[in-house]
Structure 1
Amino acid sequence: MTTGFSMTRRLIVRLTAAIALFWIGAVGISAYVMREEFNEVFDSSLQEASQRLMPLLIENLVKDDTLDEPRRISSAGDDSEEYLTYQLRNRDGKVLLHSHDAEPEPFPAPLQPGFFDTPTHRIFTESAVTNTLFLQVADPLSHRREAMRETAGALFLPLLALIPLSIVLIWLVTRLALAPIGALRMEISARDGGNLEPLPATGLPSELLPISVSVDRLLGRVRTALEGERAFASNSAHELRTPLAGALAQTQRLVQELPKGPARVRALGIERSLSSLGHLAEKLLQLSRADSGIGLSQQATDLLPVIRLIVHDFARQPDFAGRLELQTGDLAEFSAQVDVDAFGITMRNLIENALLHGSKDQPIKITVSPEGAVSVVNAGPIVPQDELIDLTGRFKRGSTDALGSGLGLAIASSLVDHMGGKLTLNSPAHGLRDGFQATFSIPMNVG
């Protein structure tokens, strides 16, 4: 059986991924727009700074134009890094003045008014005095990149908190939105051969109502078919019991009256056939009861007297006398909320299976444990594993010549399921080299 996928998990993953992608896309577009705006702001500041610096530097140059070497303009008194650096050059490219952090070597930019980019700086050139003096102001590109990184980081950081928050919110929303689907799923999963009641239609959204109606129609058809089959099997078996019992009694009387010879042998064969047919009718009655869903009870019942009564009933039969050993240890009570008839039918079928197919010269051990497990162990040949798996199927028989209908273990398995327990078959039996062991466990009453 393949495992289906979770709608809630898919919705959470896909919606969270969609939100994250939308956020990343929005941040990417915003970062691109901000980069263009930042460049315009930085360029404007660069141009404005050069226009303000030009008259001041010319005045400073006029006051002292005796030096042949480039003169360095001292800083304001602190050693902080300056983002903007500048050089005042003549038409020959010679540096006349430069800022505190600028190198005395000329900037690698042409003496033409306007902007020019180098690998590390963006330079704006401003001319004055009829293009005889040129002021070049340089802005490091690293400064712009740093500002862009910090701004983009401020936009991306909320995404780290947005993703887990989105998962929680989407999980809450989808859980509330898909709650009717979960309720409908639980109702459908609770329907089986013992529960074919209509689905509750209240509280379902309009999208799920057609599903509920369709399932109810299907359940109605299945319920009708199963009820017909159960009624037919039960009525047929019940109606056959009386004529079979009469025919068997007449045959047994005929066997007693006939002398030894071929006629008596044929009569004995008819007797065996009628006994087998009566046994089959009894099994069909039990099967119809198992299919009706009996198993659980509202009240807890001590099942030890039931087990002792069944063992005593089998022990009274001459063919089975002395073959059953009941082991309960110090157990004083074996209480469970199960149907007594269902438990009794299960015990009878397991014991009968052991009596028919087990070794005639070895005892059959019936063990009851306080944990709620009952095991029936008989000696005999090992049942192959491939046959062991099929033994709980209807009309399935292993490699045996013993009489039987192939329904005993199927009835027991069905009833144990209805009682909320589990039937386990093992061959060889636990602790033995051969034999067969049937163990079923039921929930014990702890109240």
Structure 2
Amino acid sequence: MTGLMLGAMVALLLLGFPMMIPLIAGAFIAFFAFLPVPPEIMVQQMIAGIRPSALVAVPMFILAADIITKGHSADRLIDLVMRSFGHVRGGLGVTTAASCALFGAVSGSTQATVVAIGGPLRPKLLDAGYKDSFALALIVNASDIAMLIPPSIAMIVYGVISGASISELFIAGVGPGLLILLLFSIYCYIYAVRHDIPVAPRASWASWFQALRGALWPLGFPLIVVGGIYGGIFSPTEAASVCVAYALLLEFVIFRSLKLPDLVEVAKSTGLITAVVFILVGAGAAFSWAISFAQIPQQVIAAVGLDGAGAVTVLIAISIAFFIGCMFVDPIVVILVLTPIFAPLVEQAGIDPVLVGVIITLQVAIGSATPPFGCDIFTAIAIFKRPYVDVVRGTPPFIAMLFAVSAALIAFPQIALFLRDLAFR
């Protein structure tokens, strides 16, 4: 059964079918050929997969991200960070990384961050003397921070699949995200010193306060998400709805950057992305139920010798599996397929599911920016019109730093869990 399912899925992928088709095909083979259950159970499991109320947050956060990406919020955030760090050595690189972190607190999407931050900042990096390979690699890899800083669509999907608290996952992602930002900033400083990148003039206090005043409204997004959830004002799902209302208020009323026809286009974009996500989630739910019913996770664990493994070994195995998976397949698909496989090991080893969720989110973020098929790489190729080799040439130092953060998380879980424990324990 396992060989036939995997063979069919790989064959369909090689033939160019979108990932939802191999997932549905794998579940179809299991339900109709091997499992002693009525075939209509497959449809029931697909519907059950998209039924959790927490998934309502996904289209809401996607819609909010689409609105602010099309509007002026990203430009105002970039202007504030530029005036704060532009005068230090490597300040423009630091600005890029910090802008990705701030925008991540608004959008929760790595690909939206590549588009919104990379578009205006890549020309500035090139004009300042940075190599294009460095600029592209920095933009693509710094977008990983957006997947860790709340809100995070990957964390929502993991929380629904695993049953872990989405609120706890959100706050636990802040520590690793800030650590990545620190390492990238240090590397930008070293790069600027080695390549003698000129330093921009220091912004006056008057211009800094002007930029701060302009960015105050967009800075309300992380306040809504983090402050609202952990202040007990509303749930993550309600926070997503409030973010949409806030984005509409900013871009249509306060900034007046969008008109009613723009909202129609934004709604179409959000609807398309949401449809793809929910089809994947539904297909993944059926596939996960099928492999769990057939006890395939237990067979895989026994086959690779992980049965009875300790917490560190399990976390290393999870990191490797999710990283490799996201080098080839969309992150949401990898989370849907692999999370149920490792669930028995996580429970057996007594590992905190929130820590597992943060590590998984980091690994899928790294894989999304890693050759050969990381989705953020192809987003950059499409946006910046650069060849594949140019986009990936400068990635190794950034990937090494991201691996270092992964190792640090396994060795020192409190990097992720300190804020979680502070807020919820």
- Greater C-alpha radius of gyration: 1
**Bigger proportion of residues as strand:** 1
Same topology, TM > 0.5: no
TM-score using structure 2 length: 0.24
Question: Please, what TM-score do these two structures have when normalized by structure 1?
Answer: 0.23
Which structure's relative contact order is higher, taking Cα pairs within 8 Å and 6+ residues apart? Answer: 2
Kindly indicate which of the two structures has a greater share of residues assigned to helix.
Answer: 2
